[in-house]
Amino acid sequence: MKNPLRDEAAAFQVVLATLGGAVLVVVAAWLSTWLGVAVFLALVGVALWAIRGGLRHRPAQTHVVRDDGPTRRILVVANETVGGEELFALLDRKAAGMREDVLLVCPALNSRVRTWTSDEDGARARAQARLEASLARLAEAGVTARGEIGDGDPLQALEDALREFPADEIVLSTHPPGRSHWLEQGVVEQARLRYDVPITHVVVDLGATP
């Protein structure tokens, strides 16, 4: 089961905050019932704001150690858009006239309920099928690529891949604005803040592809 808390320190902070909030509600309710209700609602609002990213701070930028060899390493993170024309066209242009090594990571996106119950087999199977089809198509286009299934969290999948694959460039593929959960979650912006590697964002509109 995937723990939503980063570590034991974070869990301890949550426990302290919960106890402190409970004490505030009890004291306020002792003074006045309506005051207790108001304090409770205010604390709920603060908790929802924090969960949605209100307490998110800018992470320290991570330096990715790369070699200066003749091969350009391109790390691609994409899920449903992994078979999009725009992504294939971009990779074909970047691989033209150079020796490339492309790693295609397909996060196993899953519902929250299935993730919490460790039911990830279906998500991984769907991601594997998309990944294999995309790798076959890239091979037909003459692009040397390999692939792997990544964590359901795209940023975690990116971090895991960079440990073994020090990329010269990162490509993030998403649906268009309004239909992309990754864009709503600020995945592209967070990746650019976190890593000192050129990051290209490609938008794939599967609805416009014949």
Please give the Cα distance from 100 to 23 (Å, whole number).
Answer: 59
Distance CA 192, CA 124 (A): 27
The CB-side HSE value for 197 (13 A sphere, CA atoms) comes to 29
Asked whether residue 10 carries a pLDDT value surpassing 60, the answer given is no
What is the structure's pLDDT at 53? 55
Q: Would you say the pTM of this structure is higher than 0.75?
A: no
pLDDT tens per residue, range 182-202: 999 899 999 999 998 999 999
Contacts of 210 (CB under 8 A, 6+ apart): none
The percent of residues in the chain predicted with pLDDT above 70, rounded, is: 76
Looking at the chain, the whole-number percentage of residues with pLDDT higher than 90 is: 24
Highest mean pLDDT among 34-38, 117-121, 195-199 belongs to 195-199
pLDDT in tens, 126-178: 888 888 888 888 888 777 889 999 988 899 999 999 999 999 999 999 999 98
State the Cα–Cα distance between residues 2 and 108, nearest whole angstrom.
13
At residue 80, the pLDDT reads 79
Q: Which is higher by pLDDT, 133 or 46?
A: 133
